[in-house]
């Protein structure tokens, strides 16, 4: 039996299903909320659109022109019919094209969207290839399947490794920042998103005749996928990333080889060596140090131009994180290096699962990263500072399982406060 026969059976099994991957309208709207204001009539590119569930919602919500790309013409036919039925045919433009070889000019779109589809060319490849298509200030939103367990089961690894190499959220955020993006938001998709996809698929599988050419193989693959999710769904899941091209300063986590340079940057950036010594002391404090949250920005010659550090603190006894210090070599100050490294370390903290970051700093500088006065959350330092200088950034939205803690900030001993 040829691969084409099995492929045709696969598509026949999936035709007419409401979704072709895990997702929901609420997840689409949640990811769209991270993007912020769009132009009055934004140019939207939906890649791997399938029958167009997201394309239809994006057209309705943004009021924009949606170019919806897929290689499977019958899916595009489904989208054309749905767009016409909803009165959106003039604003949704289905295109049969390869998302890896797109025929569009640079800076053509205000928003690029890819739910459950970037895997077909690879996450890193998608980040690289699609970046040129983003207009100034535009955003890229894509979802990716990744490991959600610290130690995934042998069965889950055996299932995924022959098909697609999953990574952790921290590794994917690192890939995003390494590709020159700032992370606007991260959304771990709930189990209900999988139910919206797998529920109808399971019903279709039970009702499908396996005697159709290629269908036995297609059904076996679908049932293996359903069983893996049922038995090992806690090991992996989909996460959505909202991204925007960042400044041109490359950033990365500190390595052991950077320690001397990081000390030198902090010593040069401040009047005394106190901040440089503080970083060294925090690195030695295992209760305070958060692996992967000491970030550097590289100068054109590869040397360290800037440094930003996030360590553990407490608010009213609850875990929080402190951004301090942030240092830039004098010759690179006011070049964007500091902003780049701050955004990168905040992105890494978000991926690590940190919910709350505090900073004591200039009230004219840190609000551009989203910081607001900590007093607005009922958070205060244990010493006197101007109210506007003590700021907080909530990385994870408060919900029924987590609320922003209130009370007095307790810093690591190395801060001496």
Burial label for 46, CB within 10 Å (0-12, 13-18, 19+), is: buried
What's the pLDDT band for 401 if we cut at 50, 70, 90? low
pLDDT tens, position by position, 236-291: 999 999 998 876 688 999 999 999 999 999 999 999 999 999 999 999 999 999 99
pLDDT of residue 295: 96
What average pLDDT does this structure show over 337-344?
A: 92
What's the pLDDT band for 210 if we cut at 50, 70, 90? confident
- Candidates 100, 82, 99; CA nearest to 91 is 82
**pTM for the full predicted model:** 0.70
pLDDT of residue 278: 97
What average pLDDT does this structure show over 108-131?
A: 96
Burial label for 393, CB within 10 Å (0-12, 13-18, 19+), is: buried
Q: Helices (DSSP H) in 270-371: which residue ranges?
A: 274-284, 337-352
pLDDT of residue 120: 93
pLDDT tens, position by position, 29-63: 999 998 988 999 999 999 999 999 999 999 999 99
DSSP one-letter code for 354 = -
Higher per-residue confidence, 248 vs 404: 404
Is pLDDT above 70 for 2? no
The 3-state DSSP class for residue 49 equals coil
CA 110 to mean position of chain CA atoms: 18
Q: Can you name the residues that pair with 323 across neighbouring β-strands?
A: 310
């Amino acid at each position: 039996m040829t691969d084409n026969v099995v492929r045709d059976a696969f598509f026949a099994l999936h035709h007419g299903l409401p979704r072709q991957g895990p997702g929901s309208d609420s997840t689409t709207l949640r990811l769209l909320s991270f993007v912020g204001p769009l132009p009055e009539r934004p140019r939207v590119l939906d890649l791997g659109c399938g029958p167009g569930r997201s394309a239809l919602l994006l057209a309705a919500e943004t009021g924009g022109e949606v170019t919806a790309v897929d290689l499977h013409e019958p899916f595009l036919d489904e989208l054309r019919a749905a767009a016409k039925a909803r009165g959106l045919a003039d604003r949704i433009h289905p295109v049969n094209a390869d998302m890896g070889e797109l025929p569009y000019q640079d800076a053509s779109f205000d928003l690029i969207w890819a739910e459950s589809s970037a895997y077909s060319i690879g996450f890193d490849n998608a980040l690289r290839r699609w970046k040129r298509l983003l207009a100034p200030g535009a955003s890229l939103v894509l979802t990716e399947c990744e490991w959600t367990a610290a130690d995934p089961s042998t069965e889950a690894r055996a299932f995924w490794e022959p098909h697609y190499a999953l990574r952790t959220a921290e590794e994917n955020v690192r890939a995003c920042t390494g590709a020159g993006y700032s992370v606007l938001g991260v959304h771990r998709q709930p189990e209900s998103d999988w139910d919206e996809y797998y529920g109808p698929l399971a019903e279709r599988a039970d009702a499908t005749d396996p005697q159709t050419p290629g269908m036995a193989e297609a059904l076996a693959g679908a049932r293996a996928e359903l069983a893996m999710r049922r038995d090992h769904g806690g090991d992996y899941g989909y996460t959505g990333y909202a991204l925007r091209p960042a400044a041109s300063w490359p950033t990365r986590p500190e390595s052991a080889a950077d320690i001397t340079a990081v000390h030198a940057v902090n010593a040069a950036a401040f009047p005394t060596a106190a901040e440089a010594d503080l970083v060294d002391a925090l690195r030695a404090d295992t209760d305070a140090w958060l692996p992967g949250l000491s970030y550097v920005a590289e100068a054109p010659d590869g040397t360290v131009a800037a440094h930003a550090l996030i360590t553990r603190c407490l608010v009213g006894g609850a875990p929080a994180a402190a951004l301090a210090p942030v240092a830039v070599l004098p010759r690179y100050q006011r070049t964007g290096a500091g902003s780049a490294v701050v955004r990168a370390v905040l992105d890494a903290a978000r991926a690590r699962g940190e919910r709350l970051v505090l900073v004591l700093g200039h009230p004219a500088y840190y609000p551009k990263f989203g910081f607001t006065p900590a007093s607005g959350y009922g958070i205060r330092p244990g010493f006197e500072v101007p109210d506007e200088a003590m700021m907080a950034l909530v990385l994870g939205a408060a919900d029924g399982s987590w609320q922003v803690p209130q009370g007095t900030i307790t810093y690591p001993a190395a801060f001496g406060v």
